[in-house]
């Protein structure tokens, strides 16, 4: 049983008072296992914990995926993928939604799913927290690390419990709020990068 604190978040939007409830991931989403049999896409994707699902060529400065991607999962915009690789700051891997491209291909080492009975943007925000770590850690096999991968079967992954609001309007408000914050952060990062380039240019010209 979850505790009272988990049922009633400390911070709520005005007008929402219903307790949050436990839901199995399998009850609010469905697994995606379609393959890129006809080469609908040959864009190899990888998950960056910071940047989400990105072009593998850009991320690694080389293509790591096999040239033949017909055996890879075909992932479409709006679908989620779980990267079971752990890294610094991400001990249980990362779960991200495909936003940057219409579709791409992913290794079958990933677990791919689409939301069915939950607001997609709310789910993005949920998986930006560390709240889901405990459930994954409970369902991962004992001593579960092999060559940088967590040993968790898809069935166990979809049995993980999420504590969520059943109120659609509350899901939508939370998702939109964090989306706006993300957009603002991205905007400021771009401004910062431009200022850094400007500074670099000035330094080169003034101290040449």
- 10-residue mean pLDDT profile of the chain (208 residues): values are 66 93 97 89 86 83 68 95 86 93 93 97 96 89 63 93 96 96 93 95 88
Coil, strand or helix at 75: strand
d(CA 86, CA 48): 11
The radius of gyration of the chain's CA atoms, rounded to the nearest angstrom, is 20
Coil, strand or helix at 183: helix
DSSP characters over 23-43 = EEHHHHEEEE--B-TT-S---
Coil, strand or helix at 153: coil
**108 φ, ψ (degrees, to nearest 5):** -70, 0
Give pLDDT, residue 68.
77
Give pLDDT, residue 138.
87
Give pLDDT, residue 59.
75
Give pLDDT, residue 158.
96
Pick the closest to residue 167 from 29, 10, 28, 21 (CA basis). 21
> Which helix (H) or strand (E) is 154 found in, with range?
helix 154-158
Give pLDDT, residue 123.
97
Burial class (CB in 10 A: 0-12, 13-18, 19+), 49: middle
pTM for the whole structure: 0.86
């Amino acid at each position: 049983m979850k505790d009272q604190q988990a049922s009633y978040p400390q911070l709520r939007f005005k007008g929402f008072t219903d307790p949050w409830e436990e839901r199995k991931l399998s009850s609010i989403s469905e697994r995606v296992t379609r393959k890129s049999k006809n080469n609908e896409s040959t864009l190899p994707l990888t998950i960056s914990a910071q940047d989400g699902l990105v072009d593998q060529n850009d991320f690694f400065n080389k293509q790591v995926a096999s040239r033949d991607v017909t055996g890879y999962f075909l992932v479409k915009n709006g679908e989620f993928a779980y990267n079971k690789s752990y890294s610094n700051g991400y001990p249980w891997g990362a779960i991200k939604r495909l936003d940057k491209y219409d579709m791409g291909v992913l290794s079958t080492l990933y677990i791919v799913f689409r939301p069915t009975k939950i607001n997609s943007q709310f789910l993005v925000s949920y998986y930006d927290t560390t709240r889901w770590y405990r459930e994954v850690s409970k369902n991962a096999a004992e001593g579960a690390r092999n060559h940088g991968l967590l040993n968790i079967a898809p069935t166990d992954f979809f049995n993980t419990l999420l504590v969520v609001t059943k109120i659609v309007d509350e899901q939508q408000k939370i998702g939109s709020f964090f989306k706006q914050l993300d957009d603002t952060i991205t905007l400021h990062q771009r401004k910062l990068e431009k200022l850094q380039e400007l500074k670099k240019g000035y330094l080169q010209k003034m101290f040449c």
